[in-house]
Amino acid sequence: MARMAAPNASDTKIFTGLKQIAETRHYKAWLLDQFGVLHDGKKPYPGAISTLENLAACGAKMIIISNSSRRALTTLDKLKTLGFDPSLFIGAITSGELTYQHLQRRDDPWFQMLGKTCIHMTWSDRGAISLEGLGLQVVENVEKAEFVLVHGTEALGLSSGDSVSKNLGELEKILEQCAAKGIPMVVANPDFVTVEARELRIMPGTLAAKYEKLGGEVKWMGKPHEIIYKEAMAMAGVEASDSIAVGDSLHHDIKGANASGIESAFITCGIHSSELGLNGFGELADVASVRALASKYDAYPSYVLPSFTW
Ligand SMILES: [Mg+2]
């Protein structure tokens, strides 16, 4: 059984950069969150690119683990357009990729039972998600649907392959009908919100949480669920004790690492920055505030850092 990482808040160590952690060479695999850690969706955070290079120079095997609803290659391409060198990573695993693989392979009993006809919630402005190769039939009528597939929070997929913009309230109305019918949901991005150029956006996890409240069954395909950590460790060929996860969300990144028996580094400049009373990049969080927030989320990082810097 994997040992619990940093079981209580008083074990947490506060550092100003990753150098001290990396130079111990204790961790062979680094499972890195992207949004809120490496970049804000529009540009890299200061020092992120050189920090990755320094980590690589220390022999770290780096894998992006992301709750993005897009497939892994899209994530690596996006990182490239933002100025990151994709060859520094041994790969990327996204919620979208896990969802795609499980819907295609259907090699576990839960996915075997799932039908092929679905209500599809997706993106519009941010670009629709392709379901090509999955043999799914998208329907608009809940009565005909066997499950709900949630990739985004902006639009409803149409049987024609197009989609129509819907607001959150409209999507929630459809979910009420789905819950009443008792069909399961697959959520291809368990995030509740994301930081995008300093703004918080509502993500699919918010719809999934609503669905559970309505009594619906949800298959969460990403952090904080073990499924994505197991996949990442398999990719790197390492054990939990040789791994460290880095992320800015206590609920997703740190709780997920705790549950998987992996040590973790909490980056405070991301999604929790305002809760921690931080205004500027690189500002150090107050220890008591970090501990209080960690208890609130029941998620305990091994290390706390202001940003992903060396
Ligand atoms: Mg993040």
Q: What does the pLDDT look like over 225-237, one tens digit per residue?
A: 999 999 999 999 9
pLDDT at residue 2, as a whole number? 38
Element (H, E) at 13: strand 13-14
Query: Going by C-beta distance under 8 Å and a sequence separation of 6 or more, which residues neighbour residue 152?
Result: 69, 121, 122, 123, 124, 126, 128, 129, 189, 204
- Give backbone dihedrals phi and psi of 257, rounded to 5 degrees, phi first: -65, -45
- Give backbone dihedrals phi and psi of 123, rounded to 5 degrees, phi first: -100, 155
User: How is the chain split into domains, by residue range?
Assistant: 9-97+223-305, 115-220
Looking at residue 2, the DSSP 8-state letter turns out to be P
Mean pLDDT of 201-208: 94
Ligand 1 centre distance from Cα of residue 129 (Å): 20
Cβ count near 254 (within 10 Å) = 32
Ligand 1 centre distance from Cα of residue 240 (Å): 21
Helix (H/G/I), strand (E/B), else coil: 211: helix
Ligand 1 centre distance from Cα of residue 8 (Å): 22
Instruction: Convert the pLDDT of each residue in 250-306 to its tens digit.
Output: 999 999 999 999 999 999 999 899 999 998 888 989 999 999 999 999 999 999 999
Mean pLDDT of 170-178: 98
Among left, alpha and beta (phi > 0; psi -120 to 50; other), residue 301 is: beta
Looking at residue 247, the DSSP 8-state letter turns out to be E
Q: Please state the length of the chain.
A: 310
Fold of 9-97+223-305: Rossmann fold (3.40.50)
137-138/117-122 β-pairing:
parallel
User: Both tokens of residue 185?
Assistant: 């949901």
- Burial call 111-144: b when 16+ CB within 10 Å, e when fewer: beebeebbbbbbbeebebbebeeeebebbeebee
pLDDT at residue 201, as a whole number? 84
Ligand 1 centre distance from Cα of residue 35 (Å): 4
Ligand 1 centre distance from Cα of residue 28 (Å): 21
Q: How does residue 14 score in pLDDT terms, banded at 50, 70 and 90? A: confident
Determine the Cα angle at 24 with ends 21 and 25, to 5°.
Answer: 100
CA proximity to 69, closest of 103, 36, 95? 95
Q: Which residues surround ligand 1, an ion (CB under 5 A)?
A: 33, 35-36, 248
Residue range 115-220 forms a domain whose CATH class is: alpha beta
Can you tell me which residue has the tokens 């904080």? 224
Ligand 1 centre distance from Cα of residue 23 (Å): 24
Radius of gyration of the chain from its Cα atoms, rounded to whole angstroms:
19
CA distance 34 to 42: 12
Ligand 1 centre distance from Cα of residue 254 (Å): 10
Same fold, 9-97+223-305 and 115-220: yes
Q: Which of the residue ranges 46-50, 127-131, 187-191 would you say has the lowest mean pLDDT?
A: 127-131
CA distance 225 to 260: 8
CA distance 113 to 309: 45
Q: How does residue 200 score in pLDDT terms, banded at 50, 70 and 90? A: confident
Ligand 1 centre distance from Cα of residue 10 (Å): 24
pTM of the model: 0.88
Query: Going by C-beta distance under 8 Å and a sequence separation of 6 or more, which residues neighbour residue 259?
Result: 224, 225, 226
Query: Going by C-beta distance under 8 Å and a sequence separation of 6 or more, which residues neighbour residue 183?
Result: 145, 146, 147, 148, 216
Ligand 1 centre distance from Cα of residue 84 (Å): 17
- CA distances for 279 relative to 12, 21, 309, angstroms: 23, 26, 17
Ligand 1 centre distance from Cα of residue 4 (Å): 22
